């Protein structure tokens, strides 16, 4: 794989199922619609997970992302990218569940 910038990576993730984990520990799982330079994020078919338990769901959701407030975005997206590039799907049970859930 050729050299990629973080921006290229993010562009490649748009339209894919992602997990957005906030610093508070809350997770939002959904399809990444778009994002901007502040890392504001728009998601579709969003589900909110607290401690791994689904708490609620939203059709669309806007997550405010600047100022280093809450949106820590990379953790799982990074894993998703590993998942796609190596095909090692068994790497993480949680992620396997996630990919199953996200085959809409």
Partner 1 sequence: MSVSSVIEQPLDLIRASLDERVLIKMKADRELRGTLHAYDQHLNMVLGNVEETINEIVVNDNTNEQTVKTTKRKIGMLFLRGDGVILVSPPLRTK
- Least distance CB 65 / partner 1 (angstroms): 8
Binding range to partner 1, per CB under 8 A, among 1-9, 56-64, 76-84, 85-93: 56-64
- Residue 94 interacting with partner 1 (CB under 8 A): no
The C-alpha atoms of residue 89 and residue 63 are separated, in whole angstroms, by 28
- Least distance CB 34 / partner 1 (angstroms): 6
- Least distance CB 92 / partner 1 (angstroms): 25
Looking at residue 9, the DSSP 8-state letter turns out to be H
The C-alpha atoms of residue 33 and residue 6 are separated, in whole angstroms, by 17
**Stated length of the chain:** 104
Cα dist. 96→53, 69, 103 in Å?
A: 16, 29, 11
Count, residues near partner 1 per rule CB under 8 A: 24
Q: Which of 60, 84, 94, 97 binds partner 1 (CB under 8 A)?
A: 60
């Amino acid at each position: 794989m050729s050299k990629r910038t973080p921006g290229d990576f993010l562009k490649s993730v748009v339209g894919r199922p992602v997990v957005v984990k906030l610093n508070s520990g809350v997770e939002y799982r959904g399809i990444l619609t778009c994002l901007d330079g502040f890392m504001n994020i728009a998601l579709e078919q969003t589900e909110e997970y607290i401690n791994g338990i689904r708490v609620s769901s939203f059709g669309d959701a806007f997550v405010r992302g600047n100022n280093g407030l809450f949106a820590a975005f990379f953790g799982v997206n990074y894993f998703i990218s590993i998942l796609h590039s190596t095909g090692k799907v068994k790497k993480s049970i949680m992620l396997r569940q996630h990919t199953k859930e996200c085959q809409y």
